[in-house]
Amino acid sequence: MKLSIIVIGDEILLGQVTDTNSGAIARTFDPLGWQVASVSTVGDDPRVISDAVNRTFDSSDFVITTGGLGPTKDDITKTVLMENFGGHLEYDESVAENIRRVFALRGLKLNASTEAQAMVPSSCRVIQNLYGTAPIMWFERDGKVLVSMPGVPFETEGMLPEVARQAIQHYQSELRLMHRSAMVTGITESALSERLEDYERNLAPGLHLAYLPTPGLIRLRLDGQAKATDTEFEQVFNLAFEKLRDELGDYLIYDGDATAAEILLDMLRRHGLTVATAESCTGGSIASRITAIAGASDVYAGSVVSYSNDVKNRALGVAADDLATYGAVSRPVVEQMARGVCRLTGARCSMATSGIAGPGGGTPEKPVGTVWMAWCVDGRVESREFHFPGNRARVIDRAATEAMLQLVNQIRNHE
Amino acid sequence: MKLSIIVIGDEILLGQVTDTNSGAIARTFDPLGWQVASVSTVGDDPRVISDAVNRTFDSSDFVITTGGLGPTKDDITKTVLMENFGGHLEYDESVAENIRRVFALRGLKLNASTEAQAMVPSSCRVIQNLYGTAPIMWFERDGKVLVSMPGVPFETEGMLPEVARQAIQHYQSELRLMHRSAMVTGITESALSERLEDYERNLAPGLHLAYLPTPGLIRLRLDGQAKATDTEFEQVFNLAFEKLRDELGDYLIYDGDATAAEILLDMLRRHGLTVATAESCTGGSIASRITAIAGASDVYAGSVVSYSNDVKNRALGVAADDLATYGAVSRPVVEQMARGVCRLTGARCSMATSGIAGPGGGTPEKPVGTVWMAWCVDGRVESREFHFPGNRARVIDRAATEAMLQLVNQIRNHE
């Protein structure tokens, strides 16, 4: 099955909002063995939307559009779809009922432009949107389907399982696609590709290895594609993945697809440890990445974001003398931060960061990108200086990732 | 000028990585008055890439591709472009020199697959990549241009100003596009559109109002489009924006395009105030959003992420009795958190959050999405209970935004 996605909205096209819907749709359908053929992003221009719909519908089995359905005047998708699939606007009581339900839930007052959402093309079948007011519209022609979903990520992500269920019901999958990931750290992408050259050359037909580098962490994904009738393919695929694990050795930090924070939480849980963070330059980024994961409170005690020297001293007990003598970005300070936050929170592990994220604040001795880090595991403290390239966001992101992955290694070595 | 973007990579198509390059490109060229016509995302499939290049090149004046240039085997863009624009691969000493420079800077060892990046199509002109090893390639045909840029956002964002400079040199802009934004809060999108109905109906030709809602904050963008020769258009546009400000009244929280954190920092600076945060359910998210902004240290003292009750008590001085009697998600606790973090950090303002982000932890009295917040401004404490819809990420995001915007209002009312 060939799936194409059309993302509609000037705000996406102009780069004011980053599209995450297409990724969510791909992540839903890809594991089902559907082939995501293309994503097209278009603005709120009826002619351009219409062209994209025609072109994409012809070359795909299934099309999902997102966006262009809100109650405001810059929404035109409904009209364009009606031009393509026929029919006229008619009032749908079930949609109106859903709109009233959503508004009551949010304690809001109905108004005319919201009620206009209850008018839907007679040529579509409605899938009720449980997460918002814009109806999801299912159009069919020549046995192929176009589904129009909302632009709000929360609504589209919420309704994707139901849309996928109905899509599977409508079609039969012919191809079997498999994916499995391994997370790798401590090696560059190019050194890794040299190391795996023989492995890749000897992969069985239908298997392919993809490199997906992120700052500090490379995701390797083994992709497999075979006919649904090929019953032995799963075994071939799994053996190839086992061999990949062997080739990676210690560079393999996690078997599966995971973020640095997920890898750390997994390691802490397996060792029955708890962790706290003392963040200066990373400014709460480590804390927020850890607490974004449901259930983090099992192992995460808390954080002190000690942006000022005063807080480093008062909350974490860093000696004022050391702050004056060595500066905030120094080994003695991060080591005291790491110990201090363990003392304050009672956690058995901790990590501490202090650095110059930029763009200002750099000196010849400590240029922008300099970050000192310390880790504490059951009272044993290690520390290290890093130099990260790039702008502020990149330095913060990279430092947060590195702090977590290094702690994973510390705990692994501590075993 | 009509600009089209092609994003290349299985990892984007399959939703494993979110594309941010197309947004960065649009944000660079849109203010120059170029029309971003479309964004196409395609996988690492030579035939599909080739089709997208042909189709897009024909219908645009300028095409930028990103991705498909790394040193690993799943990169094929170079070959496809050579099939489209002719030429053969040849060794480019300036590219090799740049690769050696980047590797030396990062303290890495060269290897064969990296050196292969120095082979470039003879049909292109190279723009040296100052942020990485993959060369930026400029192809021309019939006076039109295709530029191939890397997939790594840091490299593409870094090199965009130079690519834009050369693009402007190559073309002359004919159209004049203008944009100006206003940030609005405290009103729903549909109520806002009713309020602005007359305003929108009476807009002069070439003007258009777009609604860009994000959780808790609506960006209104006035778009204008006129011939470059129309010298009076700028005045018409500015008058229309002034009128929009008047229509918005107190709902206007910021004149321009800004995040909640930027609006808060601006307000703090204008009042000479400092702020600290005490975060439970938002888990460092407020801190990281504030410290992501360069220069935040002027007004930001720090944060305590008090994920456990123990930390709420020990670091922030929340009474253990109150934690036991009222629970962590309660008015007395957030009020003590807000006061405690001011005391600890010496900041004049603070905000505190405690809630149930889910998916677990909800009760009939305090369901998932319940968040208590308190704000302290010069010793005066206000607090309020919120109920946010959605999953964990959405509750955290919405709570962080609301905490900051409410503090902006508190300071505004305090005037």
**pLDDT (tens place) for every residue of chain A, 415 residues total:** 899 999 999 889 988 889 999 999 998 888 777 889 889 999 988 888 999 999 899 889 899 999 987 666 446 888 889 988 998 888 898 998 888 888 877 777 777 777 778 889 999 999 999 888 889 999 998 878 999 999 988 889 889 989 988 887 787 656 677 889 999 998 988 899 999 999 999 999 889 888 877 888 998 989 887 877 888 999 999 999 999 999 999 999 999 989 999 999 999 999 999 999 999 999 999 999 999 999 998 999 999 999 888 889 989 999 999 999 999 999 999 999 999 999 999 999 999 999 999 888 899 999 999 999 999 999 999 999 999 988 899 899 999 999 999 999 999 887 6
Is the minimum CB–CB distance between B367 and chain A shorter than 8 Å?
Answer: no
Is the minimum CB–CB distance between B409 and chain A shorter than 8 Å?
Answer: no
**Band of pLDDT at residue B173, cut at 50, 70 and 90:** low
CB contact under 8 Å between B16 and A310, yes or no, is no
Is the minimum CB–CB distance between A194 and chain B shorter than 8 Å?
Answer: yes
The C-alpha torsion from A187 through A193 and A196 to A202, rounded to 10°, is: 170
Best B3, B5, B13, B160 residue to mutate vs chain A (most A CBs within 10 Å): B13
Best B25, B305, B312, B348 residue to mutate vs chain A (most A CBs within 10 Å): B305
What interface predicted TM-score (ipTM) does this complex get?
0.71
CB contact under 8 Å between B344 and A288, yes or no, is no
Task: Give whole-number Cα distances, A217 to A189, A261, A369, A401, in Å.
Answer: 10, 12, 18, 8
Q: Tell me what pLDDT residue A101 has.
A: 85
**Band of pLDDT at residue B168, cut at 50, 70 and 90:** confident
Residues of B in contact with A182 (CB under 8 A): none
CB contact under 8 Å between B358 and A108, yes or no, is no
Q: Tell me what pLDDT residue B215 has.
A: 80
Of the candidate ranges B165-169, B216-220, B265-269, B276-280, the one whose mean pLDDT is the lowest: B165-169
Q: Tell me what pLDDT residue B286 has.
A: 97
Q: Tell me what pLDDT residue B70 has.
A: 67
Q: Tell me what pLDDT residue B274 has.
A: 96
**Domains in chain A and their CATH numbers?**
2-170 (3.40.980.10), 175-255 (3.30.70.2860), 260-414 (3.90.950.20)
Q: Tell me what pLDDT residue A414 has.
A: 74
Q: Tell me what pLDDT residue A261 has.
A: 96
Q: Tell me what pLDDT residue A158 has.
A: 87
Pick the most confident of A162-171, B45-54, B336-345: B336-345
Residues 378-397 of B with CB under 8 A from A: 389-394, 396
CB contact under 8 Å between A219 and B294, yes or no, is no
- The 3-class SS string of chain B reads CEEEEEEECHHHHCCCCCCCHHHHHHHHHHHHCCEEEEEEEECCCHHHHHHHHHHHHHHCCEEEEECCCCCCCCCCHHHHHHHHHCCCEEECHHHHHHHHHHHHHCCCCCCHHHHHHHEEECCCEEECCCCCCCCEEEEEECCEEEEEECCCHHHHHHHHHHHHHHHHHHCCCCEEEEEEEEEECCCCHHHHHHHCHHHHHCCCCCEEEEEEEECCEEEEEEEEEEECCCCCHHHHHHHHHHHHHHHHHHHEEEECCCCHHHHHHHHHHHHCCCEEEEECCCCCHHHHHHHCCCCHHHCEEEEEEECCHHHHHHHHCCCHHHHHHHCCCCHHHHHHHHHHHHHHHCCCEEEEEEECCCCCCCCCCCCCCEEEEEEEECCEEEEEEEECCCCHHHHHHHHHHHHHHHHHHHHHHHC
CB contact under 8 Å between B391 and A154, yes or no, is yes
Residues of B in contact with A223 (CB under 8 A): 10
Task: Answer yes or no: is pLDDT of B112 > 80.
Answer: no
Residues of A in contact with B72 (CB under 8 A): 189-190, 193, 211
Residues 316-355 of B with CB under 8 A from A: 344-346
Q: Tell me what pLDDT residue A75 has.
A: 60
**Band of pLDDT at residue B413, cut at 50, 70 and 90:** confident
Residues of B in contact with A344 (CB under 8 A): 311, 314-315
Percent of chain B whose predicted confidence (pLDDT) is above 70 = 97
Residues of B in contact with A310 (CB under 8 A): 301, 345-346
CB contact under 8 Å between B392 and A52, yes or no, is no
Task: Answer yes or no: is pLDDT of B339 > 90.
Answer: yes
pTM equals 0.73
CB contact under 8 Å between A301 and B284, yes or no, is no
Q: Tell me what pLDDT residue A111 has.
A: 75
Q: What is the pLDDT of residues B83-102, one digit of tens each?
A: 889 988 888 989 988 888 88
Residues of B in contact with A358 (CB under 8 A): 294
Of the candidate ranges A144-148, A175-179, B29-33, B377-381, the one whose mean pLDDT is the lowest: A175-179
Q: Tell me what pLDDT residue A280 has.
A: 96
Task: Answer yes or no: is pLDDT of B330 > 60.
Answer: yes
Residue in chain A closest to B130 (alpha carbons) equals A390
H or E element that contains A107: none
